[in-house]
Amino acid sequence: MATAQHPVHFANETLGTECHICAFFNSPEEEYRFLLPFIRDGIERGEKAFHIVNPKLVEDHLGRLREAGIDADGAQSSGQLVVKRWQDAYLRDGHFDQDGMVALIEEVLTAGRAEGYSRTRAIGHMEWALEDCPGVNDLVEYETRLNFLLPKFKDPVICTYDCSKFGAGVAMDILRTHPMVILGGVLQKNPFFVPPAELLAELRERGVHTSRSDA
């Protein structure tokens, strides 16, 4: 059964009502230093965990959870922890369909409630957008559209980005799609955030938006 929600702590801060977070990291070690306490806290509180990771790093991801004292195997067996590969989420059928992905996130968060979890903590590793697949150029629009959906749920959704793999222009666009951001290990309200309707209008006017690092 769902219980009263506890405050969510991430990067030594307490999340408020804005729970769509952009997390820029320079290395996997830095990334997991912040993610693991957040994941462990949710598991220990009996909350749902939904992670989307590089298919080549699934075992590495689960291994890091185990090393942090998280019963990843038990949580997976019970359905509390769900780990999806990119091709089972962002890149289904070999391409990125932003409509389908927004629908999937809504389905996951709705299902968490229906299953009796008080909260779902979702994490997406976003380097899939650098793959040579149709539709990946819709990354910025997708991130923008999530801001229409996520306030209905108040479940934390963290999108992690490797700073070394995304071009500066793309990173700036990504930054503008998240109300909260972690930069240099500090979680803060994002001063560069643009409301989704305004940013979508700008993207349409611009005509071209891309997630490729060579843009």
Q: Which amino acid is at 73?
A: D
In a domain, 4, yes or no: no
Is pLDDT at 209 greater than 80 in this prediction? no
pLDDT tens profile 71-102: 999 999 999 999 999 999 999 999 999 999 99
3-state helix, strand, coil in the chain (%, to 5): 45, 20, 35
The CATH code of the domain that includes 70 is: 3.40.50.300
pLDDT tens profile 143-171: 999 999 999 998 999 999 998 899 889 99
**pLDDT band for position 208 (50/70/90)?**
low
C-alpha separations of 29 from 36, 64, 162, 166, 200 in Å: 10, 10, 11, 18, 34
In a domain, 3, yes or no: no
In a domain, 168, yes or no: yes
Indicate the average pLDDT of the chain.
92
Domain count, the chain: 1
C-alpha separations of 210 from 53, 169, 171, 177 in Å: 21, 9, 11, 14
Give the integer Cα–Cα distance in Å for 181 and 68: 24
Quick one: pLDDT at residue 48? 98
In a domain, 77, yes or no: yes
